[in-house]
């Protein structure tokens, strides 16, 4: 299965903002963008090029891909699916990305990053409506029930993460019982729920050329 590899801290520096790709590390003093807030590479520190319209659109697409941890082919398929749905294509795209099972696990605070969520799902550590699902791209539906299998090592791991992230707020579209580690999808997420620093309209313009 294709996945992003390499030094992810460079990706944040390339985009000039925190993408929170390494979980807790991104909130501390060890965050790369806090220490070296300039584009990576030998000319990064003195680079101040003005982006063209295409460059701006490309950067927005790259940010979205990197935030959700997916590659071009899968991102393009998500865009095509969004364009076939009723409503605003850009908002449909963000909703589809938020509905991915790995993203939902991240939003439930079971893990500290989406990359960890992807690993968590592929290892078969999540049940959806009582059935084991190991595909990170699986799209949740309103009313779906999500839970952690009753295995001691999994339960302890998730509970430890929930305690670590206890100051973070659960999204309004999710409901979680922290004792049983069972969650419910109350409604489908919106663009506003996502709260990501991406101008999705620029992505639509890029793919519409």
Nearest residue to 101 via CA among 59, 58, 166, 145? 145
Instruction: Tell me the pTM.
Output: 0.80
Cα–Cα distances in Å, from 75 out to 26, 78, 141, 185, 207? 24, 5, 20, 23, 11
Q: How far apart are the first and last CA of the chain?
A: 29
Rounded to whole angstroms, how far apart are CA atoms 103 and 45? 33
Flag whether pLDDT at 5 surpasses 90. no
Average pLDDT of the chain to the nearest whole number: 85
Domain ranges of the chain: 52-209
Flag whether pLDDT at 60 surpasses 60. yes
Rg (C-alpha) for the chain, rounded Å, is 18
| Residue with token string 């605070």 | 109
In 123-177, which residue ranges form alpha helices assigned H by DSSP? Answer: 152-164
Can you identify the CATH homologous superfamily of domain 52-209?
A: RNA-binding S4 domain (3.10.290.10)
Flag whether pLDDT at 205 surpasses 90. yes
């Amino acid at each position: 299965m294709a996945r992003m590899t390499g030094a992810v801290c460079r990706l944040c520096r390339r985009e000039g903002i925190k993408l929170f790709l390494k979980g807790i590390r991104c909130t501390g003093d060890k965050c790369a963008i806090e220490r070296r807030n300039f584009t990576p590479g030998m000319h990064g520190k003195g680079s101040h090029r003005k982006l063209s319209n295409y460059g701006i659109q490309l950067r927005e697409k790259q940010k979205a891909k990197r935030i959700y941890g997916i590659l071009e082919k899968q991102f393009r398929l998500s865009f095509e699916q969004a364009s076939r749905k009723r409503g605003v294509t850009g908002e449909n795209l963000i909703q589809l990305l938020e509905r991915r099972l790995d993203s939902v696990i991240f939003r439930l605070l079971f893990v500290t990053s989406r990359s960890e969520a992807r690993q968590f799902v592929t290892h078969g550590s999540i049940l959806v409506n009582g059935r084991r699902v190991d595909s990170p791209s699986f799209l949740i539906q309103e009313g779906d029930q999500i839970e952690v299998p009753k295995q001691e090592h999994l339960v302890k791991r998730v509970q430890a993460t929930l305690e670590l992230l206890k100051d973070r707020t659960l999204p309004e579209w999710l409901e979680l019982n922290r004792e049983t580690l069972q969650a419910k999808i109350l409604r489908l997420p919106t663009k506003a729920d996502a709260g990501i620093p991406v101008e999705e309209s620029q992505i639509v313009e890029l793919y519409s050329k």
